[in-house]
Amino acid sequence: MWEQIRANRIRSAFIVVFMGLLLLAVGFALGLYFFGSAEAGIAIALLVWFIMNLVALSQGDNILLALGKAHKIEKQDYPRLYNIVEEMTIASGLPKMPDVYIIDDPALNAFATGRKPDKAAVAVTSGLLQRLNRDELQGVIAHELGHIRNRDTMLMAIGGIMLGAIVILSWYATRIMFFGGMSGNRRSSSSGGGSGQIIILIVGLVLLILAPIAARLLYFALSRKREYLADASSALYTRYPEGLASALEKISGSSQPLKSANNATAPMYIINPFRKKGLAASDLTSTHPPTSKRIQVLRSMSGASFNSYDQAFRQVAGRRGVVPQGALAAVAETPLRAGSTDTEAGAAAEAKRARDVGDVLWKKNQYRTVDCQCGARLRIPPGLGAESIRCPRCGTVHKL
């Protein structure tokens, strides 16, 4: 696992460095256009990047979680989910249990965030909690904790900030250029630039337009690679790859789009929230590898170790594996375990889970619950002026 993290870092450092260079190049082009000096542009680019870092650092995960309308839960709110996260924290050997959030959304998805393993959070949608049984939920949570353990969340945060800086800079630069006239250009032509100068300016313009696209592709490449590793980690922690495989099957079978996702947060989810149903394309612009392939790899594992995952991957994809060499030798062969005996399948179990999750969300929205003796359950909105309420079914009056 430790070797894994190291190999991961080296590989990803390359992509991040490349994004950094792209940021500097954008600053360079910017400086040439507007100030006639490359240094000033680079300084501005770095300043924008620095400020975005500060904002991200002070806000932490709150931005992401606020975007997703997430509610933080404690153990007594929903013991099943809390317990599963605790179990997987133990299995993965994380130093501290991540915070647990529920997103009020019928779509099936989950994500992890956090710059450091000891300051991380996992969030799952209420739809996911309704549909998945314990083994499947365990697989999904293990996948997310795998992201935290392998430092993927940290890396995506760094990459995301760089991407944001590049997009903002080039967006403003091109807008100003097209609508505000090229003040910098005038100045440089008055100082007598030759044809060489013009070529540099054209290259700069192309760069400003292409950089955000290139940065996005890099960011997505970064994200795709991590998905397989997180799947492998999930299998290792749970010793039961079938759980995650069947969860992925359920998730990909539902076409419910996630309301709260956007382009920047898409790579953080367990499955691409913008996927189109029945599309197995693994093109440059996708944030996740095709789900059918992920399921196939998980199902053909013979053990739970990284070695088994690598072997299964090679069998399915027919090319070199996804797990870094260093991680392979270090882990002993580990057998799989059987699924848990209590089968929580069927419509009744699902209805019960739906009720439980609903209770949590009502409570988190500060609604009060009154159980009438006729079996009806009344939800009382916060700030209701009345002192008593009448049950619409049997007419009993309840004092509040």
Partner 1 sequence: MGIWIWVVLGILIVVVVALISVYNGLVRKRNQVKNAWAQIDVQLKRRYDLIPNLVETVKGYAKHERETLEAVTQARNLAQQVANAGAGERAKVEGELSSALSRLLAVAEAYPDLKANQNFLALQEELTSTENKIGFARQFYNDSVLRYNNQTQVFPSNIVAGMFGFKAEEFFETTTAAEREAPKVSFS
Provide the binding-site residues for partner 1, judged by CB under 8 A.
79-80, 83-84, 86-88, 90-93, 237, 239, 330-332, 334-338, 340, 342
Distance of CA 16 to the CA centre of its chain: 17
- Residues facing 70 on adjacent strands: 103
Catalytic annotation, pick one of 74, 87, 144, 242:
144
Burial (0-12, 13-18, 19+ Cβ within 10 Å), 24: middle
User: CA-based diameter of the chain, in Å?
Assistant: 90
Contact by Cβ (8 Å): 270, 144: yes
User: Residues near 345 by Cβ (< 8 Å), separated by ≥ 6?
Assistant: 133
Judged by beta carbon, residue 34 or residue 306, the one nearer partner 1 is 306
73 phi and psi, to 5 degrees? Answer: -120, 155
Contact by Cβ (8 Å): 105, 260: yes
Judged by beta carbon, residue 332 or residue 345, the one nearer partner 1 is 332
Q: Is 9 helix (H, G, I), strand (E, B) or coil?
A: helix
* Residue 335 Cβ vs partner 1, minimum distance, rounded to whole Å: 5
Judged by beta carbon, residue 219 or residue 237, the one nearer partner 1 is 237
Q: Is 144 a catalytic residue?
A: yes
Sheet with 99-103, strands from edge to edge, namely 70-73, 99-103, 119-125, 110-116
Judged by beta carbon, residue 18 or residue 82, the one nearer partner 1 is 82
- Evaluated on CA atoms 357, 360, 366, 368, the torsion sign reads positive
Judged by beta carbon, residue 292 or residue 334, the one nearer partner 1 is 334
| Residues tagged active-site | 144
